[in-house]
């Protein structure tokens, strides 16, 4: 079963993303929204969390939340795909269940 994991907390403030990466099944997906988008930046102390993924996870980041934080032009980790709200809906439809890591 494919789970869409939704992470909305900054990796600098909380360990949700780390727990999510530890417990996600290989082949499932992670969508970064709200303050979670800071984890998508390519040049931070937390970039390696996603760069070192060994589970072949799919990574997505919500463009709207990047824009809101002035990060549209910032360097991103290569393996992360950008999605808008329509893309968010497509991801929800394409997966069997959703897990919001509060």
Report, in Å, the least distance between residue 10 CB and another protein: 16
Cβ count near 63 (within 10 Å): 17
Give the shortest CB-42-to-another protein separation in angstroms.
26
Q: Is residue 93 at the binding interface for another protein, with CB under 8 A as the rule?
A: no
Which of 28, 41, 60, 76 contacts another protein by CB under 8 A? 28
Contact at 8 Å (CB) between 28 and 58? yes
**Dist CA 102 CA 86 (whole Å):** 22
- Least distance in angstroms from the C-beta of 19 to another protein: 6
């Amino acid at each position: 079963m494919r789970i869409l994991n939704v992470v909305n907390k900054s990796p600098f403030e909380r360990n949700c993303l780390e727990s999510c990466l530890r417990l996600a099944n290989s082949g499932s997906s992670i969508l970064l929204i709200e303050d979670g988008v800071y984890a998508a930046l390519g040049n931070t102390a937390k970039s390696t969390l996603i760069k070192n993924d060994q589970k072949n996870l799919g990574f997505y980041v919500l463009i709207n939340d990047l824009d809101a934080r002035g990060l549209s032009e910032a360097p991103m980790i290569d393996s992360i795909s950008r999605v808008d709200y329509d893309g968010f809906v497509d991801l929800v439809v394409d997966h069997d269940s959703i897990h919001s890591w509060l």
